[in-house]
Amino acid sequence: MAAASTTITRTLLLFSSFKTSLTSSSSSFHNFPKLPFSPFKTTTSTYTYCCYHSSTQSQSQSSPPPRLNNNNNVIEILQQRGLIESLTSPDLHDAVVSSSPLKVYCGFDPTAESLHLGNLLGIIVLSWFHRLGHHPVALIGGATARVGDPSGKSLERPDLDLDSLRRNTLGIQSTIATILSGNSVILNNYDWWKEVKLLDFLKDVGKYARVGTMMAKESVKKRLESEQGMSYTEFTYQLLQGYDFLHLYKNEGVRVQIGGSDQWGNITAGTELIRKVLQVEKGAYGLTFPLLLKSDGTKFGKSEDGAIWLSPAMLSPYKFYQYFFSVPDSDVVRFLKMLTFLEMEEIGELEREMGRVGYVPNTAQRRLAEEVTRFVHGEEGLMEAIKATKALRPGAETKLDWETIEGIAEDVPSCSFKYDQVVNVQLVELSVSAGLFESKSAARRLLKQGGLYLNNSRVDGEDKRIEAEDIVDGKVILLSAGKKNKVLVRIS
């Protein structure tokens, strides 16, 4: 078959003006024609299915999804919440309310041990599809991570050694399974790419790729115009991701790929490859959602300061909660729509309350922090975060214990002293030795202003000395200068 070049039209949120009924044959999406080639030994591949339920967290997604009906159009819901930027075809609007649920996939390259807040949107969109009766698939890029996606990057990604890839894959796999409570299939594209032969791939897949089309992709154009340019390895990434979609469409019945707006070129590479190889004009769809940006307009990433990791091993539930609790008023409503599953009516009421006299500051932020923390870390993680937040607030009446303090140990500066270096030492002197203040005069000045705290209790006397009972459970002391600056003193 001649590999004809076709122009892809980017469809921007233009729904509801028309609807077309799908034919009965279009719902039988598991019966695909066989590929005219077999560079991958798909009959002997072993897929990494991880459809298990996490017993460590309680998640709302574990309840059975509602039945599909015309009032459960996931595309309309995502559009209403600002979670759709583009679709490859408006036909997806009707396909999601057909009689057959759709399989929908999102890819995650294991370039770090944890996913970050930018990846959370993909998981949330997958969860919305699941809640409305569809079947989410998470694809770990065990193969594509060895190449590196150039989308949105100004420099080529550094190479990852095999041990790092395995460790990252396990970490991300665990995070996804935990957040989605086992309500998804998790695959690894290395399971089919490990059998590929270069010559077979060039002959059977490469012939369908038009170089002009590949170079016209936005991610490629930007890199080619940059001083660093683009390597051939990165240039081929869109073909690899495109083939993933083809493979999943043919072998797993996956009909929809979702991704951030920077993935548009990679997603359309897949829909085009399906059209050309399988000669299927309709049935494969792509959906992109807006990138989640910081307040300064930059994309959340793993290499920048202040990255918001999803793994509790890399960012505690307490600090995760605190991030959302402290977002500015200008962002909180947008985040409530995009990052939570609250009803739009409730979000609207919270927004109206913010403009009323007597509104308690951070009420909306508190609700945002609770909902997102519960989704990512479960009820147990949320309770841990709330307990730490209450207990660690200077002046709080909640009594501190060693376990609560250890919960934030990775998030605050700490130091160690021997027992006799602490007991009977003046608090002002210990505060300087621990690094909370640069000088005793600065410590005394804040103490007089009522801003120096020992284990959350305000200290009023300059002559206060540390006593044995001040050491929490005989192990730690928490010093605070104001509400935010803290130092953990460990007793050895």
Burial of 475 (0-12, 13-18, 19+ CB in 10 A): middle
Residue 67 CA: distances (Å) to CA of 79, 95, 102, 124, 141: 20, 15, 13, 19, 32
Dist CA 283 CA 275 (whole Å): 9
Q: Give 211's contacts (C-beta < 8 A, 6+ positions apart).
A: none
Dist CA 398 CA 478 (whole Å): 14
C-beta separation of 71 from 96 below 8 A: no
Dist CA 191 CA 259 (whole Å): 21
CA 256, chain centre distance (Å): 19
Amino acid identity, position 451? G
Burial of 383 (0-12, 13-18, 19+ CB in 10 A): middle
**pLDDT on residue 151:** 55
Amino acid identity, position 429? E
Dist CA 283 CA 254 (whole Å): 10
**Any idea which residue has 């583009």 for tokens?**
86
Print pLDDT tens along the chain (492 aa): 444 433 444 444 433 333 333 333 333 333 333 333 333 333 333 333 343 333 334 444 444 444 444 458 999 999 999 999 999 999 999 999 987 899 999 999 998 899 999 899 999 999 999 999 999 999 998 888 877 655 555 445 567 788 989 999 999 999 999 999 878 899 999 999 888 888 888 888 888 777 777 777 776 777 677 777 777 777 777 888 889 999 999 999 999 999 999 889 889 989 999 998 898 888 899 999 998 876 777 665 443 446 789 999 888 898 899 889 988 898 899 999 999 999 999 999 999 999 999 999 999 999 999 999 999 999 999 998 998 888 777 766 667 778 777 777 777 888 999 999 999 999 999 999 999 999 999 999 999 999 999 988 899 988 999 999 999 989 999 999 987 788 999 998
Express each pLDDT in 107-134 by its tens digit. Answer: 999 988 999 998 999 999 999 999 999 9
C-beta separation of 213 from 104 below 8 A: no
CA angle 447, 398, 375 (to 5 degrees): 115
Residue 358: both structure tokens together = 């007597």
CB-facing half-sphere around the CA of 223: CA atoms within 13 A? 23
C-beta separation of 376 from 120 below 8 A: yes
Residue 340 CA: distances (Å) to CA of 135, 219, 321, 361, 379: 20, 30, 14, 20, 15
Amino acid identity, position 143? A
**pLDDT on residue 74:** 96
CA-closest candidate to residue 243, choices 287, 282, 200: 200
Q: Is 104 left (phi over 0), alpha (psi -120 to 50) or beta?
A: beta
**pLDDT on residue 396:** 65
Residue 237: both structure tokens together = 């990434």
- What are the residue ranges of helices labelled H in 180-309? 190-193, 198-204, 211-216, 218-225, 232-235, 237-252, 264-278
C-beta separation of 366 from 320 below 8 A: no
Dist CA 460 CA 98 (whole Å): 69
Question: Across all residues in the chain, what is the average pLDDT?
Answer: 80
Q: Is the dihedral of CA 392, 398, 399, 402 positive or negative?
A: negative
